[in-house]
Structure 1
Amino acid sequence: MISAKTLPALNAHEDRLRAYLAASPGVDMRAVASTLAMTRVDVRTPWGAAG
């Protein structure tokens, strides 16, 4: 799950994550997924994406 306070910020965060994953073909996707699932998410933010 990624979240942001504004839609443009969410899009930017998604772009950075996508770029990191594209540049890191050997990355442990389970570790990435676990980190995204377990790190703090501010539930008061209006925008979120899971995916």
Structure 2
Amino acid sequence: MNWRICCESVFDLLQQAHNPVNWFPWSEHRFVIATCDNKPIFLSIWSANY
């Protein structure tokens, strides 16, 4: 279970907590780390209509 996603309050994110993804919340710091490590960023943009 991804402990970072489990700390979120958005129901749609919590539904994905058991997926094998190294998930991080949005931050400029994550982009710096990915750039330094030469790793790609997979950005998922979605919206829920309630």
Shorter-chain TM-score bucket reads under 0.3
Q: Which is helix-richer, 1 or 2?
A: 1
Normalised TM-score (structure 1): 0.25
Give the structure-2-normalised TM-score.
0.25
Which has the higher relative contact order, 1 or 2, with Cα contacts under 8 A spaced 6 or more apart? 1
Which structure has the greater CA radius of gyration?
Answer: 2
